[in-house]
Amino acid sequence: MKILQIFNRFPWPLKDGGAIANFYESKGYKEAGVKLTMAALNTSKHFIVVAELPDEVKNLADIHLTYIDNRIKPKEAFLNLFKDSSYHVERFICKDFETQLANICSKETFDVVVFESVFVAPYLPIIRENSNAVCVLRQHNIEYKIWENLAANCTNAIKRSYLRLLARRLKKYEVSVLNSFDGITVFTQTDLEMLRADDCQIPVGVFPFGIDTDALIINQENLEMPSVFHLGSMDWLPNQEAMTWFIQEVWYDVSARFPDLHFYLAGRNIPVDFFDYNNQNNIRVLGEVENAHELMNNKAIMIVPLFSGSGIRIKILEGMALGKCIVATHLGAQGIEANAGEAILFANTAEEFKSQIAYLIENPTEITRIGNNAKELVRTKYNNSLLIQQKLNFYQQLAQAK
């Protein structure tokens, strides 16, 4: 099978869930024998140089990059207020990329073109004009739902109004393109149900994120037991919202009860305001860490207090694969088939988070038991090679229908 993947940013380095999800998808295709081509916008924020990529990345596929300066610009954002289009989507539209995609399709015949997120959906017409391939939208999240949740949780009236505007416009675009594809894949049953509620009538396959468990090696040599940590991209608004809430509503009370317990906050692009928490109440703001898996191995309890978002949290599955005990909201763990009290602990309020963390501190053997169950869950239900083969079968069904 010949597959073209289209990205709104190249999936490297592996510093956030989006890059990890895309990279392991590509790696899975390669290992399944797919002849893979990767076309990506080379954004100013995530700029890469192909020659500097590790060989394991360069050897995945025939790689094509097109530069775009898609930084958020105050003037453009302001002028967009007087238009009816989504600024989220507009930022990824590039004429040079259209030309690049047309050239790629003129030189190669593809069986499947995978659009990695709705932000590259504007390039569907150029693919239709130049290829007879099956076109699949891979929905990492139902994007507008994230902004609806952020707006609902925002206490500032002006900001809430603006977030609602962004959500409405993004929803209008997102819903309008759904039935233009031949098929869609999502990570969770919840996302499938939301698509159907938005009148999506084309085939939808549910494929959770697959973990390459062989690449995740457990090492407890430097394990700090007990300890609490969060790891995630801090330029993502739902993570900022979650961490502000957790520190102010949960951690201060937990720290008062357990004065020797430390909380570690790590991730790329942490806003400067968060560093004000550093060294207060045993909070350690680490910023971007060189080796995320090493951090996970060295800490005990992973917290994921998300209240906005959809899709599946890659970092939870990675943490599970490394035997971490995780305390998460139901939304944060959405799409992960884990039984409460067995492979994960759930908490949806400040009091529930305090209670669950206290329970683990006072019963440290539970940290180990739940982490071991989580590890086995990932290895049996979220195997990347198995999920990729199921997805390729789905593509073949779409091709037969077409």
> pLDDT tens for residues 111-131?
999 999 999 999 999 999 999
33 and 96 within one domain: yes
pLDDT of 141 strictly over 90: no
Tens of pLDDT, residue by residue over 213-258, are: 888 899 999 999 999 999 998 988 999 999 999 999 999 999 999 9
Report d(CA 338, CA 356) in Å as an integer: 16
pLDDT digits (tens, 9 = 90+) for 278-326: 999 999 999 999 999 999 999 999 999 999 866 678 889 999 999 999 9
Q: Kindly report the CATH number assigned to the domain that includes residue 286.
A: 3.40.50.2000
- One-letter amino acid at 157 equals A
Average pLDDT over residues 65-93: 87
Q: Are residues 60 and 192 in the same domain?
A: yes
Are 45 and 32 in the same domain?
Answer: yes
Q: According to the model, what pLDDT value does residue 293 have?
A: 93
CA atoms within 13 A on the CB side of 352: 12
Are 238 and 175 members of one domain?
Answer: no
305 & 392 share domain? no
Residues 391 and 337 in one domain: no
Which DSSP string corresponds to 41-68? EEESTT---GGGS-HHHHTTSEEEEEEE
User: Does 372 share its domain with 389?
Assistant: no
The answer to whether residues 120 and 221 belong to one domain is no
The reply to whether the predicted model has a pTM over 0.85 is no
Residue 339: both structure tokens together: 């039984």
What is the chain's mean pLDDT, rounded?
94
- Mean pLDDT of the region 29-58: 95
Give one DSSP letter per residue of 272-330, joined into a string: GGGGGGTTSTTEEEEES-S-HHHHHHH-SEEEE---S--S--HHHHHHHHTT-EEEE-T
Range(s) of the domain holding residue 315: 214-381
Q: What tens digit of pLDDT does each residue of 245-255 get?
A: 999 999 999 99
Same domain, yes or no, for 37 and 168?
Answer: yes
Same domain, 205 and 234: no
| Identity at 362, one-letter amino acid code | E
132: helix, coil or strand? coil
Work out how many domains the chain is built from and give that number. Answer: 2
Examine the domain organization and report whether 387 and 375 are in the same domain.
Answer: no
pLDDT band at 12 (very low <50, low <70, confident <90, very high): very high
Question: What integer pLDDT is reported at residue 311 of this predicted model?
Answer: 60
Q: Do 274 and 392 sit in the same domain of this protein?
A: no
Cα distance between the two ends of the chain: 16
Mean pLDDT throughout 384-397? Answer: 95
